[in-house]
Structure 1
Amino acid sequence: MFWITVGIIACLLAWLYHKQQPIKSILMEEEMIDHLTNEEKGRVGEEEIAQFLKKLPGKFLLYNNFYLPIDAEKNTEIDLLMVHEKGIFVFESKNYAGVIEGVSHDHFWTKSFSATYNQRFYNPIKQNDTHIRALKNIIGPYEVFNIVVFGREASLKVESMPTPDVYVCKITQLEFLYDLLGILPKQISLEIIRDELVQIEPVDWEMKQQHIERLQSRYGHKAIS
């Protein structure tokens, strides 16, 4: 009888232990994720991308956190804009961890940290499309490459090149730009694009804050970093 009781208690403790693992896992993941704010994580990712881009061959202009008008009342922010003599590249930085899943035409994608913990975020390809449309309103109908870059800790389960002008990759996979620049002809006048962009009025802090609040209201606080 004694050993039966011990066995029952052992089974009960094992069941309780495994039942608590998802909760423990979530708490550990939250601690890992939230030691930096979304804004801080975003800046870290953008800076790492910028440092990589500065090493690329050829002549180019590099802009970071560049605000463009959508209309008289709204603005949109490009994380990184590279105007290269061989092409124009708009980068959307998502310094996320976890498993990233989504399809190019979906409205939302998902980042998962375990079987019991995931979050939705606005499709970054579509988010970057908004930036590109605003950019083309300023510079004209140039071909612009839409490049979404995830952090080192992400595991991507998405199509890496859904269309010839859209790329989705991790920050460790940006070397493809060397090959892409190698096959593109020189086609961009940096001076012309720079003169177009310099006419945009600087966005003050209040307008930036309104832009952030609009995105948070529409897509949720954790969907815009």
Structure 2
Amino acid sequence: MKGDGPTTEIDLIMISATGIYVFESKNYSGWIFGDEDSRNWTQSLKGGKKYRFYNPIWQNKKHINILQKHLEIGSEVFRSYIIFSERCEFKKMFVRSPEVKVMNRNVLTREIEHDLNSLADRLTIWEINKIYNKLGRYALADAQTKQAHIDAMRWRN
């Protein structure tokens, strides 16, 4: 979803009274090194192979910025969850922003429950329904839209 330009693909959005949770999922293994301020993170595999990838916090921040503009809602409503598979271990992972969480998939339920039970309500049921209806039209992209997004990502990279 973007204005008249290229599209962006958001893995998952959860709308709750405590806010809008935006999830970016990574199916990586090995050791993961990164922090909030670095453009790229590193995946280190057995045998010494290393791969760099774009900071998923920044990636999700772009998603949130687009949602913010589209929904005309302030940033205080959004929570960013970066989810990695259980097959990876975080090394030197520094995240200081309270609205951003980086975790393995096996602790996701616990973290969501914690936030749902501890954060103040920010959205009414009326606002939740309005957001849901506004985003609903983007939820199930057709095959042509998905392929256009994949092609655009290949072209950019």
Question: What corresponds to 1:181 in structure 2?
Answer: 116
Give the C-alpha shift of residue 103 in structure 1.
1.7
The structure number with the bigger radius of gyration is 1
Q: Percent identity?
A: 32
Q: 1:162 to 1:214 in 2, by over 3 A?
A: farther
Does residue 1:204 correspond to 2:142, yes or no? yes
Does residue 1:152 correspond to 2:152, yes or no? no
User: Matches of residues 23-38 of structure 1 in structure 2 within 5 Å?
Assistant: none
TM-score (norm 2): 0.85
Rounded to whole Å, the distance in 2 between the matches of 1:200 and 1:78 is 10
Identify which of 119, 128, 147 aligns with 1:190: 128
Give the C-alpha shift of residue 115 in structure 1.
5.1
Identify which of 55, 62, 65 aligns with 1:123: 55
Rounded to whole Å, the distance in 2 between the matches of 1:75 and 1:198 is 16
Larger helix fraction of residues: 1
Q: 1:136 to 1:97 in 2, by over 3 A?
A: same
Please list the CA deviations of residues 12-59 of structure 1 after superposition, one character each: whole Å capped at 9, or x if unmatched: xxxxxxxxxxxxxxxxxxxxxxxxxxxxxxxxxxxxxxxxxxxxxxxx
User: Matches of residues 104-119 of structure 1 in structure 2 within 5 Å?
Assistant: 104-114=36-46, 116-119=48-51
Question: What corresponds to 1:76 in structure 2?
Answer: 8
SS in 2 for 1:211: helix
Question: What corresponds to 1:94 in structure 2?
Answer: 26
Q: 1:157 to 1:201 in 2, by over 3 A?
A: closer
SS in 2 for 1:72: coil
Say if 2:34 and 2:94, in contact at 8 Å, map to a contact too. no
- Number of aligned residue pairs: give it: 151
RMSD: 2.0
Please list the CA deviations of residues 51-110 of structure 1 after superposition, one character each: whole Å capped at 9, or x if unmatched: xxxxxxxxxxxxxxxxx22x3131101101000122110000001111011121111111
Rounded to whole Å, the distance in 2 between the matches of 1:112 and 1:201 is 34
TM-score (norm 1): 0.61
Say if 2:35 and 2:94, in contact at 8 Å, map to a contact too. no
Instruction: Specify the code of the residue in structure 2 equivalent to 1:155.
Output: E
Question: What corresponds to 2:105 in structure 1?
Answer: 171
Say if 1:160 and 1:167, in contact at 8 Å, map to a contact too. no
User: Matches of residues 206-221 of structure 1 in structure 2 within 5 Å?
Assistant: 206-219=144-157
Mark the runs of 5 or more structure 2 residues left unpaired by the alignment. Answer: none
Say if 1:160 and 1:168, in contact at 8 Å, map to a contact too. no
Q: 1:199 to 1:207 in 2, by over 3 A?
A: closer
With CA pairs under 8 Å and 6+ residues apart, which has the higher RCO, 1 or 2? 2
